[in-house]
Amino acid sequence: MSGHAIYEWIYIGAVISLLAWVGADSWNVEHMLEAVPPNAEVIKVIGQQWFWTFQHVDGTREIGQLHVKQGVPYRFEIVSQDVIHSFNIPDFAVLTDAVPGRVNTVWNVFDVPGQYLIQCRE
């Protein structure tokens, strides 16, 4: 092996180690984001043309608006009645599709009181 070959192998090893570290760290973050807190309140989100319906566990429904408590984790179970929608709360980087016949989930904690836009991105 020449003197340059050893440096090349060291460089390749360093790059592979760096990629493995970044990949493992990314997997941990993704896994953490998907782990819904066990005390999260469930809200069923139903996408329909021109509006969203929000159904709480106690049976109450809200159409077009959603009222939540500050500091409480919420798990949104998102479905669609008609076509593909995209449930989005831009201020909290919440974005997931609402697909007919399929339930997609996402969760969030609203720490800051206020009014936030909920929209369809489709």
Percentage of residues in the chain having pLDDT higher than 70: 91
Q: Give the total residue count for the chain.
A: 122
Across the chain, mean pLDDT equals 89
pTM exceeding the 0.75 threshold for the entire prediction: no
Structure confidence at residue 29 as a pLDDT band (50, 70, 90): low
Strand partners, 107: 75
Q: By C-alpha distance, which of 60, 34, 53 is closest to 98?
A: 53
Q: How far apart are CA 122 and CA 83, in angstroms?
A: 10
Tokens of 40: 């999260």
Backbone phi and psi for residue 59, each to the nearest 5 degrees, phi listed first: 95, -15
Q: By C-alpha distance, which of 117, 122, 118 is closest to 83?
A: 122
